[in-house]
Amino acid sequence: MFRERVSALMQQGDTYAKRLDSERRRSVDLEATLRALRVEHFEARKALSEATNTQLCAATTELKSIRTLESRLDKVLTRYNEVCNTNKALREQIQSLRREKVQQAAVLDKLERETAQTQGEAAQVAQASQAASDARDRANRQSEALRNQLAEDGNNFESGWIEKTSQLAEDRAMIRDIPRLRTPKSPSRPHFVNSANPGIASSPLPSNTSGRSLPGGFKLLSTPDIKLRDETHKNERLLHEKANDLQKQSERLRVAQDGLAKIKRKTGEKDSQALAAALIAAEEKNFSLFNMINELSTEMEALEVENNALEAQVNEQTRDGSMGSAEDARRRALKQQLEDQIEKSRQKVARLEARHSEAAEAAEVMKTGAMGLFHKLQGPNDEAFATQLSTHGVTDISMAQLLGLIEQRVGELVDIHNIATNAPAAAALGAHHPAMKVDVGGHEGGHTRHSRNGDRSRGGGVATTTGALLRPTPPTADDFGDSDNDDPQQDDVLRPCKISDIQEKTAAAVGRRKEKQIRAKR
């Protein structure tokens, strides 16, 4: 995601750079066209000015050109205002469309969330309905199996019951005949006694009932009785088992009926047919939802396949196109370098603006001081210059003239002070301070100026023979610093100094001079 955003931003930056280049080329072409048009216009005006009645033609042409240009200017201004209004309307429209897009994106996200929630709820309802339909089918199958089993068990029970009842009736009849068989022999019943053979007697029982002997001299058939008793016990056990099975099946049926009652109570349907119709409709709805979910799943799978293909292509491009990564890194480094240069340029501009403000303040102070000195030192011949200063103010050219005039006036005052000063005192001061320039009158009608820098002869002696003129020598650069120790200053960093800076530099120069003198004495 971040890589896509970076690539999109880089493409946007390249587009803007191309647009800037095209606009620059277009501006250069327009400037060249304008220059050519100006040249043509000048040539046309020159050709017109060379015609007869030059002044009238020039005035007429100039007036017409001015009017034409004014009308063109009005049209251009009108068009410019129209374009500005159109751009403003388009900008507002773009802003409104952007806001609508954001709102639509928010609504789309909300609808997607609601759709996902509805799909989840539909899936839950489908699962619940599917579980209910499965439970209903299982209950129907179980109830049908229970009905069949009940019917079969009932038929088996009825047939067995009838058979066993008839068998019990026969057994009871046979048991009732047993006491008659145990009675003693009676002479009144000769058909039971054989006179010729008394040990042989005829029996009223069937021939297959001979068995173990009974008391009283009679015999009872025991095998059918035992079988009947075993079968009776077996039938009783079967009956108990069937009763238990019937009870279990009745419990199951009751549970199924309770579940059906719960479904009716939850759905609010009392009629079984309506409930079945509602369940069928819900099942159809679930099937439709399942179909829609399957379609969405198929579409998602197709999108996933496409996304995987795109990711594989991107990975292949990033793996194979290492030059693209190097180009991106180079562009990022170049961007960072340009940003650093811009930041340094801004800092330099801030420093230069601060220096410019300080220089402007110093220049204002110098102008104010120079004007004060000029007003104090001006003479009667400086009225014109004073009028010029009051009219135009102090400019760069007038500042140089003002400083030269102040220097001239100060020199004249110093000369007047030297003339008014006592000559012997000046000579003594010149002897003690050789750095001062001293003019001494000679017997030859001339004087010589002695200074630390050298001796220079001057002609035209002064009309004073009683003393010498004392003029202080301005300090030079050799008096305040050592060329080996002082840092060289560049011409591009020279700027006006404050009085505090000058005082500090002077104190440092005096200190270095004293140290030199101490080292020389040692």
**Residue 453 pLDDT more than 80?**
no
Q: How many beta carbons lie within 10 A of that of residue 480, not counting itself?
A: 15
**Residue 420 pLDDT more than 80?**
no
Condensed to tens digits (0 to 9), the pLDDT of residues 52-61 reads 455 555 555 5
pLDDT at 463: 37
Q: What is the mean pLDDT of residues 225-229?
A: 72
pLDDT at 61: 59
**Average pLDDT of the chain to the nearest whole number:** 72
Smallest Cα–Cα separation from 124: which of 286, 298, 287? 286
Backbone angles phi, psi at 439, to 5 degrees: -105, 115
Which are the contacts of 300, defined by CB distance < 8 A and separation ≥ 6?
none
pTM of the complete model: 0.24
Report the phi/psi class of residue 236: left, alpha or beta, with left for phi > 0 and alpha for psi in -120 to 50.
alpha
**Residue 36 pLDDT more than 70?**
yes
Query: 304 or 181: which carries more pLDDT confidence?
Result: 304
Beta partners for residue 85, in sequence order: none
Query: 489 or 306: which carries more pLDDT confidence?
Result: 306
User: What tokens were used for 16?
Assistant: 């803007």
| Reported confidence tier of residue 2, pLDDT bands at 50, 70, 90 | low
Backbone angles phi, psi at 219, to 5 degrees: -120, 140
* Run of H or E residues at 381: none
Query: 315 or 310: which carries more pLDDT confidence?
Result: 310
Max mean pLDDT among 82-96, 165-179, 468-482 falls in 82-96
pLDDT at 289: 86
Sign of CA dihedral 230, 231, 234, 240: negative
416 vs 246: CA distance, rounded Å: 152
429 vs 470: CA distance, rounded Å: 9
